[in-house]
Structure 1
Amino acid sequence: MNSAEPTTDRVARADYLAPAEVAEALALARLAGDADGADPFDEHTLLRLRDPEAAAAHLTARAADGTLTGYAHLDTTEPAAGIGVELAVHPAYRRRGTGRALARGVLAAASGPLRAWAHGDHPSAAALAVDLGFTRARVLWQLRRPLTGALPEVRLPEGVTLRAYRPGADDAAWLALNARAFASHPEQGRWTEADLRVRLAEPWFDPAGFLLAVEESTGRLLGFHWTKVHERPGAARTGEVYVLGVDPSAHGGGLGRALTAAGLVHLRDGRGLDRVMLYVDESNTQAVALYERLGFARWCGHVNYALG
């Protein structure tokens, strides 16, 4: 990606990818993730890549023999707020200008502000971003901890119980709680029913691992810990604190800590895992401090670059 020589790959833009092309892009992403130690596309992009009706643009780079050497995904849902960009280059076709050609294709295809993620904060991505005028706008930390040692005790506030999520019955109440808990979050707080439904339909979804904190006297949802298990051929199974939120009215009572602990216990005792990860914004110092007190340590960073 840092090569000064222009690539000979052909870069093309499309508003739709055929199923075979989607499979090619997913295979390229897996190769790039294995090589870099961090997947190039987040869950949001992967879901949209598999959805033929998603508002997106696609840039592909191909060698003379037709091999897919690079792919860029542009989320065009809200171009005025910023087009989301993620791209990956085949590990065997790097340092020959493919990444730079894709990035320039993104600039040519976009008509508004750009927000590009560099997962793993790869040095070549940082260099390319600087060359093209992008600035670091946001850092998302991936934290990890083992589940093999002692776990924090689950101490729920008085009058609060835990139960599993009930798909269908809890959807509306959870969406309202999620919006309150993440009112200032640029992505999570804006989830719609469609965003929830697509995730409930994913193969990894397990209602037993979607824990709800409920006020006993009223049945009101006060918080939640949605866990996830990553299973990938050839890699160790890893749990995730997928989403954890607490209603602002319940802050300060220790519910967030209790929910975190309950999810860790579920991942270890219920799913037999020995490691867990989570993502947290660097700017959310309160959450970072909580997780570090619970034994999490920084694993890697993901940087969002902005232009315009």
Structure 2
Amino acid sequence: MSSAEPTSAQVTRTDRLGPTEAADVLALARTAGDADGADPLDEHVLLRLRDPEAPAVHLTARADDGSLAGYAHLDTTDPATGVGVELVVHPAYRRRGTGRALARGVLAAADGPLRVWAHGDHPSAAALAVDLGFGRARVLWQLRRPLTAPVPEPRLPDGVALRAFRPGLDDEAWLALNARAFAEHPEQGRWSPADLRVRLAEPWFDPAGFLLAVEESTGRLLGFHWTKVHERPGSARIGEVYVLGVDPSAHGGGLGKALTAAGLAYLRDRRGLDRVMLYVDESNTGAVALYERLGFARWSAHVNYRLG
């Protein structure tokens, strides 16, 4: 969520973007991300932009010359929790009122409560949120650590082994484990088979970096550490603790710490990376404490604003 663009920008609503329009939005997001140091659209939105069949409401703001000045994405697939919104404005068109015009377009297009992410906690997003009556509801921190610093040796509980994820064979068992591990999480715990398949098809996916902790006697999945590598032309490569989860029945035995360490070692030794990041809810104090003990520190914040 950002504010501003050209005063004369025209806001248009559509339920489907063509390939050229989607490419324009992706280019806009890259430009804004490079300028702000934080990607303005999360992975969920980027995946939907690449899928022409994904249901969504799109608002585009174009300047008089036709250039894309701003974009808002409305996810209306979960009315129980409200409409999810992400909004981005091109750096060249900020402080000219189009961010506000897009936000008003969102208010007109949405039916029900709104959940709006401001990636990077940009000051103009905070000001716009206050002006429009949104309340600050949730904070997601990005933490980082160097992989050049020592990584603890993974110490798995007795009777537990690590292996790589097997696409097509582990899907169902992993989805069930993910649902148990994130039963209280507003997004992660509701992943469907389609959500998993689309990520397994992404160019960055590497099954060797999707580590599963299994009970040796039964083969039951107890936890996982799914790593990711971000590679963008002109930017340094960085690893990510993409998703880390432990079955509630396996809590308290040090499995989360061991899985984290194993994934960090994989990113360092197998992928040759020298830094890693992750996202964690500010309210998840247990996870924050674990990551801080493993050498992670705050890098940036992403704020969720709510209305209604």
TM-score by length of 2: 0.98
The within-5 A match list for 1:83-94 is 83-94=83-94
Identify the residue that residue 192 of structure 1 maps to in structure 2.
192
Identify the residue that residue 254 of structure 1 maps to in structure 2.
254
Deviations 1:5-56 (A, max 9, x none): 9821000000000000000000000000001000000000101111111120
Deviates more, 1:72-81 or 1:225-234: 72-81
Identify the residue that residue 284 of structure 1 maps to in structure 2.
284
Identify the residue that residue 48 of structure 1 maps to in structure 2.
48
Matched, 1:73 2:73: yes
Matched, 1:230 2:230: yes
The change in CA–CA distance for 1:271 and 1:277 in structure 2 (over 3 A counts) is same
- Residue type at the aligned position of 2:9: D
Matched, 1:221 2:221: yes
Identify the residue that residue 242 of structure 2 maps to in structure 1.
242
Identify the residue that residue 9 of structure 2 maps to in structure 1.
9
| Residue aligned with 1:60, SS | strand
Is the Cα–Cα contact under 8 Å of residues 40 and 118 in structure 2 kept in the other structure?
yes
Identify the residue that residue 152 of structure 1 maps to in structure 2.
152
| Residue aligned with 1:253, SS | coil
* Separation in structure 2 between the aligned mates of residue 265 and residue 20 of structure 1, nearest angstrom: 40
The within-5 A match list for 1:6-155 is 7-155=7-155
Deviations 1:143-178 (A, max 9, x none): 000001211111000000000000000000000000
Identify the residue that residue 179 of structure 1 maps to in structure 2.
179
- Residue type at the aligned position of 1:156: L
* Separation in structure 2 between the aligned mates of residue 222 and residue 152 of structure 1, nearest angstrom: 20
* Separation in structure 1 between the aligned mates of residue 103 and residue 152 of structure 2, nearest angstrom: 45
Could you list the runs of 4 or more consecutive aligned residues of structure 1 that deviate by over 4 angstroms after TM superposition? none
- Residue type at the aligned position of 1:146: P
- Residue type at the aligned position of 2:306: A
| Residue aligned with 1:224, SS | strand
Is the Cα–Cα contact under 8 Å of residues 80 and 112 in structure 1 kept in the other structure?
no
| Residue aligned with 1:260, SS | helix
- Residue type at the aligned position of 1:171: D
Could you tell me which runs of 5 or more consecutive residues in structure 2 were left unpaired when the two chains were aligned: none
* Separation in structure 2 between the aligned mates of residue 183 and residue 10 of structure 1, nearest angstrom: 42
1:79 CA drift (Å): 2.6
* Separation in structure 2 between the aligned mates of residue 87 and residue 226 of structure 1, nearest angstrom: 28
Identity, % of aligned positions? 83
